Amino acid sequence: MTLGLFALVVNALLFLLTDWIADKIDLPFSIDGFWSAFWGAIVMAVVSWLISLAVPDRWEGKAD
């Protein structure tokens, strides 16, 4: 559980870094603060998990 929470914090910080870079190169991307980035990281994790359930692994079931 701790590693998962740490991953969410790292993803939130990456969202904030992306916001900073987007601001420097005048891209229309904005995050209002850490908690917005944290909730965005949670949404991203859930969507990623749902996509991994929907899309089959192309290596699954193949023999070496």
The model's pLDDT over 13-51, given as tens digits with 9 standing for 90+, comes to 999 999 999 999 999 999 999 999 999 999 999 999 999
Residue positions counted in the chain = 64
Report yes or no on 62 lying in a domain.
no
Report yes or no on 41 lying in a domain.
yes
Report yes or no on 59 lying in a domain.
no
Report yes or no on 15 lying in a domain.
yes
The domain of 44 spans: 2-54
Report yes or no on 60 lying in a domain.
no
Burial class (CB in 10 A: 0-12, 13-18, 19+), 15: buried
What are the structure tokens assigned to 48, written together?
A: 């990623």
Give CA–CA dist 42/8, Å, rounded.
7
Give CA–CA dist 12/40, Å, rounded.
7
pTM (2 d.p.): 0.75
Is the pLDDT at 61 greater than 80? The verdict is no
Report yes or no on 47 lying in a domain.
yes
Report yes or no on 64 lying in a domain.
no
The residue written with tokens 């192309």 in the block is: 58
